[in-house]
Amino acid sequence: MTATGIGAPVRRKEDQRFITGKGRYTDDLVRPGQAHAYFLRSPHAHAEIVRIDPAAALAMPGVLAVLTGDDLAADGVGGLICGWMIHSKDGSPMKAGPHPALAQGKVRYVGDHVAVVIAETLAQARDAAEKVAVEYRELPAVVDTGSARKSATAVHDVAPDNTVFEWHLGDKAATDAAFAKAKHVTRLDITNNRLVPNAIETRAAIGEFDESADSYTLYTTSQNPHVARLVLSAFIGIAPENKLRVIAPDVGGGFGSKIFIYAEETVCVWASKKVGRPVKWNSDRTEAFLSDAHGRDHVTHAELALDENARILGLRVKTTANLGAYLSTFSSSVPTYLYAPLLSGQYDIPAIYAEVDGVYTNTTPVDAYRGAGRPEATFVVERLVEVAAREIGMDPANFRRKNYIKRFPHQTPVIMAYDVGDYAASLDKALEIADYKGFSKRKRESAKKGKLRGIGFSSYIEACGIAPSQAVGSLGAGVGLWESAEVRVNPTGSVEVLTGSHSHGQGHETTFAQLVCDRLGVGIDQVNIVHGDTDKVQFGMGTYGSRSGAVGMSAITKAIDKVIEKGKKVAAYAMEASDKDIEFKDGRFSVAGTDKSMAFGEVALQAYVAHKFSGQDLEPGLKEGAFYDPTNFTFPAGVHICEVEIDPDTGVTKIERFTAVDDFGVVINPMIVEGQVHGGIAQGVGQALLENAVYDESGQLVTASYMDYTMPRAGDLPSFSVGMTTTPCPSNPLGIKGCGEAGAIAAPPAVINAITDAIGHEGIAMPATPQAVWRAIHRTRPAMAAE
Amino acid sequence: MASVTMTVNGKSVSADVDPRTLLVQFLREHLRLTGTHVGCDTSQCGACVVHVDGKAVKACTTLAVQAEGCDILTIEGLANGSELHPMQAAFREHHGLQCGYCTPGMIMTAVDMVNRLGHDIDEATIRHELEGNICRCTGYHNIVLAVEAGAKAMGGAGMREAAE
């Protein structure tokens, strides 16, 4: 390992601009002549729009335009799309209702887009929006996930019972047979609470029309600018793909919420031509709560069947997934193919059957949020396993160990073929770091102080690097999920890497450069990473699903390999040798068995001056591209252990220890990987203890600011103990599995298992707020509750 | 319109602004100092923290006219030329940032914390003091390490200055 190569904790190249206030986020950009957009949003969860009168607003100072859904329709602008087709059990396609960027006839959630006001300043646009007269005819709202299918009100005409799909996976007969012969069955009702992603940079967009080139540019907060361009072109029909440039500059966190193609950026691009000015929109926080796609929101009944030897025989799951008022870009895939295929967890389960009903409600659309389906699956499996162990009186660590998959490759009954892993190794290491042996002593000490101490486990698995394209295509994906890269070597030997991955906090400018250093032997300051601009990078699928390392860097590796091969040919001419005799090592091309060698930079120069070879024999230049499509998903896995101490008088849960041992395969930069684990755990702990998107009966989101929605703060969290084990991924050239979502997937069941261990029963749901914990404790101690 | 005059990062600035202009808008839009960010509009997240007359203030809930005559320090004014402030260097060294959006506010809060509480601040104190700054990326683990190290480094710098 070199100081800057693979495996080194290199300090981040991108940090200089961020710590000095020189980052360039979308809202930092000012385009010449830009006007400002403000979206008038529905105050009702469900209503018919009787009339919109913009006259008074148009008369306000600075107002350039007030545009509505009628204007969109008149211009033939298409609706927003959902890019993953799900078929129901009966073979029928999912029921996708219309999703116009500005409402046409009806509004379906609080925050739905009614009109856009464009003015010289944002303040003028806001002022004018108050003057837009909208007459609504209110309709009853469908809000609750569990009862949406029974509601007399339909969110969309196309789905009278509010059912988007009735999907299933697995072998029902085999699973029923497993339960029929079970010695013990563990049953749980589980609610996976609705979350709001809450990247600290809110979404923003600037649409700009260049009349001379007849083309548009969109500056936006996107995790995948090429996908945004594709959808805006091919489906929404704003402009042909070659007439639309999408730029995602520095992006302040995404966590999934910036994957999707939303109404606001669509409208900004479209409106920029209508008003003849760049149109800028920047979300405020409450708009973000109302209009960024939410995450999770499942109601599940799950059952686990065991034999007399504590071996798992089968798993049966019935889930209702709330998809909100419209199908967001990838929403349909999240509670289906990103959920049920993970229900085998780390366990050898012979039979699994899962049914998922997707439902519409008059709430904000729900889509992928860090982990996307996998946290929901892991919560089901890890709660069931923990409770099953308790019910049969077995140590939960031993119960897990007994049921772990031990031989690889392993085909689960739910699609996935796990390639490699060593789950017991992660468990052993986690038990040691967490000092599991010392837990009972610590519990006694807590009891002496009148406190309740509990410990909880989570043995999670995830499927990352989302791909292969052929596989996801067969499951309904509308796109391929490969990645592209181009490696451009300059005549002086410096290197530019153009990647379809997008960094919004992951540190690609550093880790991708480390790969180049490692393979080409150039200095890290000699490497630039270019991403986030469709005019620079030809195409790419973007960053989500922990795929930038496993897929994005694999594409770069392929391109680097091609550069080395070309370099060998150039070096062969330059050193008058056969290219078969050229070796490349540590940044030098050398002729085998001789002392002749050339540095990488010298060969780059020779490639461009082209003095040593004829253009007929070899093309000048040193630039190679590659597309990489994986052969399998990757399967990061690990064990997280949470230890809590609860004050029974206040219900306050304090996390005393949080241990995470993860197997991410080969790690490029352990500092960055640990940071990803920390951040994921914080979001997972947030889900377990603090965060909850709450709607009232009328469909008002009552947690629509940081005054109401409890974001994890520094004082809510402990320092984390992070360890790693390594089984390199066999399916990609670097052995990477991916690390971005692990913490958010693993942490919630670990926390809840710890709390239920402490309070001695399973009767608590997420978020386990002090009030909820206090109530749960005092339910078991009625004498105290009566005091 | 209202006239405001203040000193920002050592330079005197004057402008006529809409009276409802927030200090953060004045910094970002009038002075184009875009390192100070807005993350929540409700004084919760702290992405907008700047120093006003040496005290940490949330610029998203301060009117520009309230800063009349004040001395403002933003993230852009913290480094000494090309030499990073010790707290900036500590955030990089300890990987106390990911997406970078909350970072300017975090650093300005951390410097204020050290100014008030000294150079030897423990983890519990740092976590408590960061109550007004939200980060969604890091889980705070490395931010806490960075603030602890930055505080010590600021002490070192102070001692050097005193010795000179």
Longest dimension (CA), chain B: 49
Residues B98 and B63 in one domain: no
* Cβ distance of A714 and B142 shorter than 8 Å: no
Residue B11's domain comprises: 2-77
Q: What letter represents residue A211's amino acid?
A: E
Mean pLDDT is lowest, of A277-291, A545-559, B88-102, for A545-559
Q: Is the pLDDT of residue B85 over 70?
A: yes
A690 to chain B, closest Cα gap in Å: 14
Q: At A67, is the secondary structure helix, strand, or coil? A: strand
Does B47 lie at the interface with A, CB-CB under 8 angstroms? yes
Q: A interface mutation test: which of B50, B101, B143 has the most A CBs within 10 A? A: B101
Neighbours of A488 (CB within 10 A): 18
Going by their DSSP bridges, the two strands A244-247 and A215-220 should be labelled as parallel
Count of residues for chain A? 787
Does B9 lie at the interface with A, CB-CB under 8 angstroms? no
Last residue of a domain, one of B59, B77, B95: B77
Q: What percent of chain A has pLDDT over 70?
A: 99
Per-residue confidence (pLDDT) for residue B160, from 0 to 100? 47
Q: Is the pLDDT of residue A782 over 80?
A: no
For B124-156, how does the pLDDT look when each residue is reduced to its tens digit (9 = 90+)?
999 999 999 999 999 999 999 999 999 999 998
Which positions in chain A touch B45 (Cβ < 8 Å)? 200, 285, 706, 711
Residues B66 and B9 in one domain: yes
Domain boundaries, chain A: 482-628
* DSSP character at residue A405: -
Chain B, 105-134: which have a CB under 8 Å from a chain A CB? 107, 123, 126-128, 130-131, 133-134
Residues B115, B123: Cα–Cα separation, whole Å: 17
Residues B90 and B55 in one domain: no
Per-residue confidence (pLDDT) for residue A627, from 0 to 100? 95
Chain B, 144-163: which have a CB under 8 Å from a chain A CB? 144
Q: Is the pLDDT of residue A467 over 80?
A: no
* DSSP character at residue B83: B
Which positions in chain B touch A255 (Cβ < 8 Å)? 136
Residues B58 and B99 in one domain: no
Closest residue in A to B98 (Cα) is A505
Residues B115 and B141 in one domain: yes
A286 to chain B, closest Cα gap in Å: 8
Residues B160, B96: Cα–Cα separation, whole Å: 25
Does A532 lie at the interface with B, CB-CB under 8 angstroms? no
Which positions in chain A touch B41 (Cβ < 8 Å)? 284-286, 705
Per-residue confidence (pLDDT) for residue A556, from 0 to 100? 96
Which positions in chain A touch B141 (Cβ < 8 Å)? 675, 678, 717, 719-720
Q: At B14, is the secondary structure helix, strand, or coil? A: strand
Q: Is the pLDDT of residue A781 over 90?
A: no
CB A559 within 8 A of CB A624: yes
Residues B90 and B157 in one domain: yes
Chain A, 127-186: which have a CB under 8 Å from a chain B CB? none
Angle between helices A742-759 and A670-685 (to 10 degrees): 50
For A50-102, how does the pLDDT look when each residue is reduced to its tens digit (9 = 90+)?
999 999 999 999 999 999 999 999 999 999 999 999 999 999 999 999 999 99
Residues B73 and B90 in one domain: no
Q: A interface mutation test: which of B32, B136, B143 has the most A CBs within 10 A? A: B136
Going by their DSSP bridges, the two strands A597-599 and A623-628 should be labelled as unpaired
Q: At B76, is the secondary structure helix, strand, or coil? A: helix
Q: B interface mutation test: which of A18, A196, A284, A370 has the most B CBs within 10 A? A: A18
Residues B9 and B63 in one domain: yes
* DSSP character at residue A366: B
Per-residue confidence (pLDDT) for residue A783, from 0 to 100? 45
- Listed in sequence order, the residues at least 6 apart from A766 whose beta carbon sits closer than 8 Å to its beta carbon are A191, A192, A193, A687, A688, A689, A692, A748, A752
Residues B49, B33: Cα–Cα separation, whole Å: 13
Instruction: Tell which residue, B126, B99, B27, B41, has the closest CA to residue A283.
Output: B41
Does A654 lie at the interface with B, CB-CB under 8 angstroms? no
Sign of CA dihedral A152, A156, A160, A161: negative
Residues A655, A17: Cα–Cα separation, whole Å: 34
Radius of gyration of chain A (CA): 28
B65 to chain A, closest Cα gap in Å: 17
Q: What letter represents residue A188's amino acid?
A: L
Per-residue confidence (pLDDT) for residue B92, from 0 to 100? 98
Q: What letter represents residue A4's amino acid?
A: T
Per-residue confidence (pLDDT) for residue B161, from 0 to 100? 47
Residues B12 and B40 in one domain: yes
CA angle A36, A38, A39 (to 5 degrees): 145
Mean pLDDT of A550-559: 95
**Is the bond leading into A468 cis (omega within 30 degrees of zero)?**
yes
What's the CATH number where B29 sits? 3.10.20.30
> Which residue in A25, A30, A675 is closest to B98 by CB distance?
A675
Per-residue confidence (pLDDT) for residue A626, from 0 to 100? 96
Per-residue confidence (pLDDT) for residue B131, from 0 to 100? 97
Which positions in chain A touch B80 (Cβ < 8 Å)? none
Which positions in chain B touch A683 (Cβ < 8 Å)? 136, 139
pLDDT category at A780 given cuts 50, 70, 90 is low
CB A560 within 8 A of CB A520: yes
For A567-616, how does the pLDDT look when each residue is reduced to its tens digit (9 = 90+)?
999 999 999 999 999 999 999 999 999 999 999 999 999 999 999 999 89
What's the CATH number where B124 sits? 1.10.150.120
H/E stretch holding A554 reads helix A553-574
Residues B68 and B96 in one domain: no
CB A1 within 8 A of CB A8: yes
CB A21 within 8 A of CB B36: yes
Sign of CA dihedral A93, A99, A104, A105: positive
B86 to chain A, closest Cα gap in Å: 11
Q: At A712, is the secondary structure helix, strand, or coil? A: coil
For A366-404, how does the pLDDT look when each residue is reduced to its tens digit (9 = 90+)?
999 999 999 999 999 999 999 999 999 999 999 999 999
**Is the bond leading into A396 cis (omega within 30 degrees of zero)?**
no
Q: What phi-psi label fits residue A552: left (phi over 0), alpha (psi between -120 and 50 degrees) or beta?
A: alpha
For B29-80, how does the pLDDT look when each residue is reduced to its tens digit (9 = 90+)?
999 999 999 999 899 999 999 999 999 999 999 999 999 999 999 999 999 9
Mean pLDDT of A401-424: 97
Average pLDDT, chain A: 96
Which positions in chain A touch B36 (Cβ < 8 Å)? 21
For B2-33, how does the pLDDT look when each residue is reduced to its tens digit (9 = 90+)?
999 999 999 999 999 999 999 999 999 999 99
- Listed in sequence order, the residues at least 6 apart from A438 whose beta carbon sits closer than 8 Å to its beta carbon are none
Closest residue in B to A197 (Cα) is B136
Q: How far is CA B64 from CA A20, A193, A417, B36, B55, in A?
A: 23, 40, 60, 14, 16
Terminal alpha carbon distance of chain B:
48
B69 to chain A, closest Cα gap in Å: 24
Neighbours of A569 (CB within 10 A): 17
pLDDT category at A343 given cuts 50, 70, 90 is very high
A482-628 under CATH 3.30.365.10, yes or no? yes
Which positions in chain A touch B101 (Cβ < 8 Å)? 23, 25, 199-201, 252-253
* Cβ distance of B133 and A250 shorter than 8 Å: no
Q: Is the pLDDT of residue A784 over 50?
A: no
Residues B97 and B151 in one domain: yes
CB A504 within 8 A of CB A251: yes
Which positions in chain A touch B97 (Cβ < 8 Å)? 15, 18-19
**CA dihedral defined by B119, B125, B128, B129, rounded to 10 degrees?**
-10
Q: How many domains does chain B have?
A: 2
Does A97 lie at the interface with B, CB-CB under 8 angstroms? no
For B90-117, how does the pLDDT look when each residue is reduced to its tens digit (9 = 90+)?
999 999 999 999 999 999 999 999 999 9
For A633-682, how does the pLDDT look when each residue is reduced to its tens digit (9 = 90+)?
999 999 999 999 999 999 999 999 999 999 999 999 999 999 999 999 99
Q: At A695, is the secondary structure helix, strand, or coil? A: strand
Residues B120 and B95 in one domain: yes
Per-residue confidence (pLDDT) for residue B157, from 0 to 100? 56
Residues A135, A53: Cα–Cα separation, whole Å: 9
> Which residue in B38, B44, B101 is closest to A707 by CB distance?
B44
CA angle A229, A235, A236 (to 5 degrees): 80
Per-residue confidence (pLDDT) for residue A466, from 0 to 100? 80
Q: What letter represents residue B30's amino acid?
A: H
Last residue of a domain, one of B28, B55, B77: B77
Instruction: Tell which residue, A253, A248, A249, has the closest CA to residue A202.
Output: A253
